[in-house]
Amino acid sequence: MNFNPEEVNGKIKKILITEEEIQLKIKETGRLISEEYRGKPLLLVSILKGAFIFMADLCRAIDMPCEIGFMCAQSYYNGTSSSGIVNITMDLQQDVSNYHVIIVEDIIDTGRTLSDVAKLLKARNPLSLKIVTLLDKPERRVVELEADIPLFTVPDLFVVGYGLDCGELYRNLPYIAEYGG
């Protein structure tokens, strides 16, 4: 699927990861997760909005019962470093202490938001905590944070599609593309 070129105004520069590549990798990741967590209480948690499409596809690639949950979080920073203060504007309904938790993220860029959210969830004593991210942009990292399962590594470019936006647009592209304003 492609947008009408007039509507994207030449801003979608290049497809970096195709729809087929994304779907294939998600199926493989779903199989790995199912093998590792089978028989255990599993809760997938994603931070809105960027990971909503990844969450929808990943949970359907997992062939065992699991719960899903969503959070809205904003982190505050003093200068360039994370204050570690996360403002949760919408919290999980589940008590994570009863679950093995996997955070499902769209992209790890500086790592600040996810680092804060991971700290917060860890403090609630889940049975275990792992991070799955669709995209990893390691060149941009300012806090130490690694995903347990990164699906794709991308260079230091601004990307859109498959849930990721620029000014709230382009989340509905089925692939990951380089955005050039």
Annotated catalytic residues are 109
Residues in the chain: 181
What distance in Å separates the CA atoms of residue 181 and residue 178, rounded to the nearest whole number? Answer: 10
Q: 82 - beta bridge partners?
A: 77
Give how many residues touch ligand IMP by CB under 6 A: 14
Candidates 34-42, 56-64, 69-77, 103-111; binding stretch for Mg ion (CB under 5 A) = 103-111
Of 25, 28, 26, 20, give the one whose Cα is nearest residue 1.
20
Least separation in angstroms between CB 158 and ligand IMP:
4
The yes or no reply on residue 111 touching ligand IMP (CB under 6 A) is yes
N-terminal to C-terminal alpha carbon distance within the chain: 21
Instruction: Give 7's contacts (C-beta < 8 A, 6+ positions apart).
Output: none
The yes or no reply on residue 106 touching ligand IMP (CB under 6 A) is yes
Kindly tell me which of 19 and 165 has the beta carbon lying closer to Mg ion: 165
**Binders of ligand IMP among 53-92, rule CB under 6 A?**
none
Nearest 5°: CA angle at 64, between 61 and 68? 75
The yes or no reply on residue 106 touching Mg ion (CB under 5 A) is yes
Q: What, of ligand IMP, Mg ion, none, does residue 150 touch, CB below 5 to 8 Å by kind?
A: none
Is there a contact between 113 and 75 (Cβ–Cβ < 8 Å)? yes
Q: What is the CA radius of gyration of the chain?
A: 16
Kindly tell me which of 100 and 140 has the beta carbon lying closer to ligand IMP: 140
Q: What, of ligand IMP, Mg ion, none, does residue 117 touch, CB below 5 to 8 Å by kind?
A: none
Kindly tell me which of 39 and 156 has the beta carbon lying closer to ligand IMP: 156
Neighbours of 83 (CB within 10 A): 12
Q: What, of ligand IMP, Mg ion, none, does residue 108 touch, CB below 5 to 8 Å by kind?
A: ligand IMP
The yes or no reply on residue 50 touching Mg ion (CB under 5 A) is yes
Q: What, of Mg ion, ligand IMP, none, does residue 158 touch, CB below 5 to 8 Å by kind?
A: ligand IMP
**Which H/E stretch holds residue 119?**
helix 112-123
Positions touching Mg ion (CB under 5 A) are 50, 106
